[in-house]
């Protein structure tokens, strides 16, 4: 049930990926209707309203008369359909649709209720506008979201049941009629940050899943190294209580529970390399960054970024800059930088696990002297880390002054979200290759019986998709298989695998 004020990141993911149907709150629909009536009343009084009886952008001084409403709104959709491939996936389109639908339910746009219902019906019918992803600078995703408008008026193409079909055909098959655009409808469709916030929600969910998985894999790596568990001691995080670090340490303690490593009174090594000793602090820094970004994103998902903003109770339509998303754009830049640290220390853990002087095992975790084993993997995961380092560079401050010099600030928010998602993709491979190293080292030691309750489950998950390396074989299939496992996620809670 969408109501305009309680949408969560998890719910966006369920609607977008699991295909959950959506229903709309009656109170929210009432607000939409009230706002729609109000803008008509104010326009009838001769009050100039941006995007309704006045043009948009640099053309804000051009009057739009009532006889021009339909043509103006249709032309606004046409002229703003100016994006570049690749097209969004069905899941991404659904995330965008639900993000915009929820914000429309705030009742701050003045859009006709039929537009709101169309968003709902597209989601529930599985009709997904073909929407090129590139072309937005982040101050409203106008050149991309306009393609949703094309679908609503029965133009352009959509993906429906995996097939590329004409929008008009898909609407007819679902028993839906194209909408007739009225005053301010087109502006409401194109002018929001739903591309960024919708896909941003999917990205945030994937990042959290990956950080949980990184903790679980690290626990297995620590056991593979026969390292020291003392840096995860709960008391240490009471005297320096960074929340993310404490949460990661708790995850690792859960994974190690009942295992040999935590039953040892003291490790012979006393201290491990920092990539092991400081892992929870680095993972925790990424958790803290993600928590902040998610908090800001939830405000976006449940707020209105409309310009102008309709204030029903005050009977006003107020020009705004609520479309500016700097607050959570820079937060996602921080997430990207933090994830680059997670990448680097994962690479170093794999390097250490492949080094005999740290493990006492065969070089590159070879089962015998005639085997090359994981030596070449070093080049693979470090090359991906180089990509992550490049992708972690900030891009939100790179913009031009546009629209006749009046739009002189932007954020490149879609690009920020896209490169963060790309980091998660590369990092999933890197964490996966760390998992290969950890499981191989456990096998070479024959120490499966001494694993913690949670880390034993992690080990079994890895071995369910990739067998032990007994002789050299092509590793590309192994990398792909463990990548898919990492993307699905591994979480240990209460010492057991959380399915």
Neighbours of 160 (CB within 10 A): 21
CATH class of 9-192: mainly alpha
Confirm or reject CATH 1.20.200.10 for domain 200-306+325-497, answering yes or no: yes
> Taking Cα atoms as reference points, which of 192, 201, 193 lies closest to residue 295?
201
Q: What is the pLDDT of residues 336-372, one digit of tens each?
A: 999 999 999 999 999 999 999 999 999 999 999 989 9
pLDDT at residue 90 is higher than 90: yes
3-class secondary-structure state, position 164? strand
pLDDT at residue 320 is higher than 60: yes
Q: Which residue has the higher pLDDT, 264 or 325?
A: 325
pLDDT (0 to 100) of residue 418: 98
| 400/255 Cα distance (integer angstroms) | 49
451, 459 contact by CB (below 8 A): yes
Q: Cis omega before residue 53 (within 30°)?
A: no
Q: What is the pLDDT of residues 371-384, one digit of tens each?
A: 999 999 999 999 99
How many alpha carbons lie under 13 Å from residue 269 in its C-beta half-sphere? Answer: 20
Q: What is the pLDDT of residues 478-494, one digit of tens each?
A: 999 999 999 999 877 66
Q: Which two tokens stand for residue 161?
A: 């049941």
pLDDT (0 to 100) of residue 265: 58
pLDDT (0 to 100) of residue 343: 99
Q: Which two tokens stand for residue 150?
A: 């094309």
The alpha-carbon radius of gyration of the chain (Å, integer) is: 26
pTM of the predicted structure, to 2 decimals: 0.95
Q: What is the pLDDT of residues 204-254, one digit of tens each?
A: 999 999 999 999 999 999 999 999 999 999 999 999 999 999 999 999 999
pLDDT at residue 55 is higher than 70: yes
pLDDT (0 to 100) of residue 495: 61
Q: Which residue has the higher pLDDT, 60 or 276?
A: 276
pLDDT at residue 68 is higher than 60: yes
> Taking Cα atoms as reference points, which of 366, 346, 371 lies closest to residue 356?
366
198, 12 contact by CB (below 8 A): yes
pLDDT (0 to 100) of residue 112: 95
pLDDT (0 to 100) of residue 162: 94
pLDDT (0 to 100) of residue 399: 86
pLDDT (0 to 100) of residue 13: 98
pLDDT (0 to 100) of residue 499: 54
Q: Which one-letter DSSP state was computed for residue 160?
A: E
Q: Which one-letter DSSP state was computed for residue 91?
A: H
pLDDT (0 to 100) of residue 297: 98
pLDDT at residue 498 is higher than 80: no
Per domain, the residue ranges of the chain are 9-192, 200-306+325-497
| 224/373 Cα distance (integer angstroms) | 16
DSSP for 124-160 reads HHTEEE--EEE---SSS-HHHHHHHHHHHTT-SEEEE
pLDDT (0 to 100) of residue 496: 63
pLDDT (0 to 100) of residue 270: 73
Q: What is the pLDDT of residues 323-342, one digit of tens each?
A: 999 999 999 999 999 999 99
For the chain, give the mean pLDDT: 94
Q: What is the pLDDT of residues 174-193, one digit of tens each?
A: 999 999 998 889 999 999 99
């Amino acid at each position: 049930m969408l109501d305009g004020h309680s949408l969560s990141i998890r719910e966006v993911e369920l609607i977008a990926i699991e295909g959950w149907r959506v229903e709309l709150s009656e109170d929210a629909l009432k607000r939409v209707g009230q706002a729609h009536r109000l803008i008509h009343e104010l326009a009838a009084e001769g009050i100039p309203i941006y995007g309704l009886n006045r043009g948009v952008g640099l053309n804000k001084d051009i009057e739009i008369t009532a006889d021009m409403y339909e043509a103006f709104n249709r032309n606004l959709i046409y002229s703003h359909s100016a994006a570049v491939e690749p097209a969004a996936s069905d899941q991404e389109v659904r995330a965008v649709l639900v993000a915009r639908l929820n914000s429309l339910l705030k009742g701050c746009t003045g859009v006709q209720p039929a537009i709101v219902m169309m968003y709902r019906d597209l989601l529930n019918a599985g009709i997904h506008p073909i929407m090129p992803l590139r072309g937005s600078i982040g101050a409203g995703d106008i050149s991309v979201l306009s393609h949703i408008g094309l679908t609503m008026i029965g133009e352009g193409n959509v993906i429906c049941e995996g097939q590329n079909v004409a929008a008009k055909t898909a609407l007819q098959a679902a028993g839906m009629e194209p909408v007739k655009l009225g005053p301010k409808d087109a502006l409401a469709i194109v002018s929001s940050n739903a591309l960024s916030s919708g896909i941003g929600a999917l990205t945030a969910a994937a990042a959290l899943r990956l950080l949980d998985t990184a903790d679980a894999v690290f626990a297995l790596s620590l056991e593979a190294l026969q390292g020291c568990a003392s840096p995860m001691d709960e008391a240490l995080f009471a005297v320096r209580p960074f929340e993310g670090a404490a949460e990661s340490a708790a995850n690792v303690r859960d994974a190690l529970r009942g295992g040999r490593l935590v039953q040892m009174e003291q490790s012979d090594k006393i201290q491990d390399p920092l990539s092991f000793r400081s892992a929870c602090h680095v993972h925790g820094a990424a958790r803290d960054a993600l928590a902040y970004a998610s908090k800001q994103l939830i405000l976006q998902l449940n707020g209105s970024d409309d310009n102008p903003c309709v204030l029903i109770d005050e009977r006003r339509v107020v020009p705004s800059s609520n479309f500016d998303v700097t607050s959570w754009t820079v937060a996602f830049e921080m997430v990207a930088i933090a994830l680059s640290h997670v990448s680097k220390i994962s690479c170093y853990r794999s390097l250490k696990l492949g080094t005999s002087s740290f493990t006492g095992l065969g070089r590159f975790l070879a089962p015998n002297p005639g085997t090359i084993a994981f030596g070449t993997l070093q080049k693979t995961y470090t090359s991906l880390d180089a990509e992550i380092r490049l992708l972690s560079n900030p891009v939100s401050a790179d913009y031009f002054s546009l629209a006749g010099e009046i739009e002189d600030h932007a954020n490149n928010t879609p690009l920020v979200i896209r490169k963060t998602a790309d980091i998660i993709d590369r990092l999933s491979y890197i964490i996966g290759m760390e998992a290969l190293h950890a499981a191989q080292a456990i096998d070479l030691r024959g120490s499966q019986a001494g694993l913690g309750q949670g880390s034993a489950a992690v080990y079994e998950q890895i071995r369910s998709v990739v067998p032990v390396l007994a002789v050299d074989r092509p590793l590309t299939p192994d990398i792909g298989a463990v990548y898919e496992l990492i993307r699905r996620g591994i979480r240990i809670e209460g010492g057991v695998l959380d399915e």
